[in-house]
Structure 1
Amino acid sequence: MLWAAREFATAKLGDARLTQRLISLVEKLAEHPQSSLPEALGEWSATKAAYRFFSNPKVTLQAIYDSHREATLDKMQNQSTILAIQDTTVFNFTLHRQTEGLGPIGQAGLSGFFLHSCLAVSAEGVPQGILAHHMWVRSPEGKDSRNTHKKRTLADKESARWIDMTKEVRNTVPDSTRVIMVGDRESDIFDLFLLAASHHDFLVRAAWDRRLHDSEEYLWHAVESNPILGRTTVKIPRADDRPERMALLTLQVATVTLRTPPHRKKENLQPPTLTALLVREESSPNDEEPIEWMLLTTLSVTAMEQALQCLTWYTYRWRIERYHYILKSGCQIEKLQLETKDRLTRAVAVYSIVATRLLWLTYQARETPEAPCTVVLRESEWKALYIAKHKSTSLPKHPPNLQTAVLWIAKLGGFLGRKHDGNPGLKVLWKGLRRLEDLTTMWEILHPT
């Protein structure tokens, strides 16, 4: 697969053989993302080579991610705006009692490590790749109480990762591309808002009903006191505990200046002035809580069109949840048995590239459906796919378009493609790609070049 070679063309592992091993490993894992390492690699010799690769100290997270980031930046060259979407997930390895180097992850007795990712997404909603990452193990002491937490400096808090990653991404992406950091309620951090003065743009969901500057008023009341700017409908994606549905939303907007927290008064900080956009669902199904999002942004919102753009961009935040979902449920990261934290984190880095590939394929097919499928499939792959679909050895002169090919792959994975089924999801694409790989292998045996 040429894409894997392009992803790691600049990988600095200190040995060309290690780089080639990385490319080969990613190719195999991309073909069988849900399989265990022995199942994906097929032969014991290849499996042993993979274990040695993950154990090799020359194989650094920095080298893997840096090479992938360069490939991601190449994809973004002609894009004037990019969304840098951040989120955190946790990997649970509690059942792997012999794995060394893990730490607490929540309830007493649970162990694993954390991953904070920053996913680049185009203004049209197509994932481009990972711009930054941070993996860490929490100390055995666990989290502080609220009072103790306030007394610690930002640099000593886990929340500093939002600030540090925002700065890192802004310094990495060329100035010709506008970067808008997007985050959920965990990113409601006063120090993040202070970055607005240094040309850092963001769009985050508020977690706290903050007091406003030089006023007795609070954030929510200030916005909901304004008239409704307009109404719109948004598709809420399905989740484990809810089906997909359409939500009718009202939008209200206000310009607000946030009050500096009392324990920061001595720092003489300039209170940040932001746009606040309140999004509320007018009615919801009886068993579901209605949607209510308070979005804080550096972007100007004076008209409905601008409000809708902010809302649309915030809904793209679900892309990073899908990315973490692929890692955990698709690539089965938490089933890996690699004995040490260092080996596991190297494996996560490799699987991250596999996950972004699957994510890109899903959304690119929706954005550019008429593009030739050869942008993602080898010649033998699309031909094997065509024959499997049509049960015929007669091939067309030109390959099908991307949307058609992705639909056929999804149907290999069990997608029915009925009118009400919508676009195929990630799970059926994983299954379809695994089936396509078997078909392609048979095609290549019968049609040697």
Structure 2
Amino acid sequence: WAAEEFETLDLGDARRNRRAIELLNDLGERPTASIPGACRGWAEIQAAYRFLGNDRYDWLDLLEPHRVCTQARMAAHPVVLCTQDTTQLDFNGQVIEGLGPLSYEAQRGMYLHPTYAITPQREPLGVLDAWMWAREFKDAEGQRGGEPESRRWMEGYARVAELAAGLPDTRLVYVADREADLLPLMIRARDLEHPADWLIRAKHNRVLPDGDGEKLWARVLATEPLGEVHFTLAPGRGRRSRDVRQALYAHRVSVSDRRGGRVDATCVIARE
């Protein structure tokens, strides 16, 4: 698989290209192992660390051939979900240069925010894009420097929108969690004329501009339900499996863009 997926990889030296493919094969066969655990022998371990420590290329160069193959796979499907979320890379207790704080200031690690393409039938197609960064430490006044982390959601949509131009027969849907419920993201999509749809879990119960203080969720729940969905909720930490029935509501609304204009969207609510 790695030889086909990374056939176009160009790290400036054929030996580096071969080493990358060998390392990807090793890590793919043992995805939960450490680098020493995945490599076969001391010589391979040393070669892997030399490869990863080479500053003549970076992780974006390694991602590029996979991204191209992912885009080609997407073209074969009528609808593709471009999902985004953030995960922590926790290296707490390890002495590694460049780490920053995580959810707690005492934790050390980095953040990874990929865009993962899948079909509605849950077939994985590949990684399209990623942000990776370490947070800056808070200063004496408790303020943290660096770029606003909300920017990654807006840039994520913009890159999916750019990709849509090269996939005229595929409908792209940008999917994100509550942290992406950002008005600037919706405005950006509107101004680009929605080359890609967006589906974002709502965080803010916004006041509607035409409802005398009426809020978004109340407006939608005042409509007739479209029907019901029934599924079994899987067990989780401290939670037993159970059957769930939810009524589905959907309503087209407009929210203020705070510039004298509006952003149109369809709000969907599933309520048990």
- What's the TM-score once normalised by structure 2's chain length? 0.90
- 1:238 is displaced (CA, Å) by 4.0
Aligned runs of 1:230-241 on 2, under 5 Å?
230-241=227-238
Aligned runs of 1:33-432 on 2, under 5 Å?
33-96=31-94, 98-141=95-138, 156-173=147-164, 174-176=166-168, 177-197=170-190, 198-199=193-194, 200-215=196-211, 216-260=213-257, 265=258, 268=259, 270-281=261-272
Describe the SS at the equivalent of 1:182.
Answer: strand
Describe the SS at the equivalent of 1:104.
Answer: coil
Per-residue CA deviation, residues 40-81 of structure 1 (Å, 9 max, x unaligned), is 212100100001011011231111111110111121222122
Amino acid at match of 1:103: G
- 1:244 is displaced (CA, Å) by 4.5
Which residue is equivalent to 1:314? none
Label 1:245 to 1:49 Cα distance change in 2 as closer, same or farther (>3 A): farther
Amino acid at match of 1:280: R
The structure with more helix, counted as a fraction of residues: 1
Q: Could you tell me how far apart the structure 2 residues matched to 1:28 and 1:124 are?
A: 29
Per-residue CA deviation, residues 167-210 of structure 1 (Å, 9 max, x unaligned), is 11221342312211011111111111113422131011101111
Answer yes or no: is the 8 Å Cα contact 2:206–2:215 preserved in 1.
yes
Per-residue CA deviation, residues 90-134 of structure 1 (Å, 9 max, x unaligned), is 1111211x2111111122311111010110011322111001100
Amino acid at match of 2:207: R
Task: Count residues in correspondence.
Answer: 265
Deviates more, 1:131-140 or 1:190-199: 190-199
Deviates more, 1:165-174 or 1:180-189: 165-174
Q: Could you tell me how far apart the structure 2 residues matched to 1:243 and 1:47 are?
A: 43
Q: Could you tell me how far apart the structure 1 residues matched to 2:136 and 2:25 are?
A: 35
Answer yes or no: is the 8 Å Cα contact 1:84–1:118 preserved in 2.
yes
Describe the SS at the equivalent of 2:262.
Answer: coil
Answer yes or no: is the 8 Å Cα contact 1:6–1:71 preserved in 2.
no
Describe the SS at the equivalent of 1:222.
Answer: helix
Which residue is equivalent to 1:326? none
Q: Could you tell me how far apart the structure 2 residues matched to 1:159 and 1:84 are?
A: 18
Answer yes or no: is the 8 Å Cα contact 1:162–1:192 preserved in 2.
yes
Amino acid at match of 2:264: T
Comparing both chains, which one has the higher relative contact order based on Cα–Cα distances under 8 Å and sequence gaps of 6 or more?
Answer: 1
Answer yes or no: is the 8 Å Cα contact 1:210–1:259 preserved in 2.
no
Mind listing any 5+ residue stretches in structure 1 that lack a counterpart? Answer: 282-449
Q: Could you tell me how far apart the structure 1 residues matched to 2:105 and 2:38 are?
A: 34
RMSD of equivalent CA atoms: 2.2
Amino acid at match of 1:230: G
Q: Could you tell me how far apart the structure 1 residues matched to 2:127 and 2:105 are?
A: 32
Label 1:168 to 1:232 Cα distance change in 2 as closer, same or farther (>3 A): same
Mind listing any 5+ residue stretches in structure 2 that lack a counterpart? Answer: none
Amino acid at match of 1:100: E
Aligned match for 2:24, one of 23, 26, 29: 26
- 1:269 is displaced (CA, Å) by 5.1
Identity of aligned residues (%): 33
Label 1:237 to 1:66 Cα distance change in 2 as closer, same or farther (>3 A): farther
Answer yes or no: is the 8 Å Cα contact 2:87–2:112 preserved in 1.
yes
Larger Rg over CA atoms: 1
Describe the SS at the equivalent of 2:60.
Answer: helix
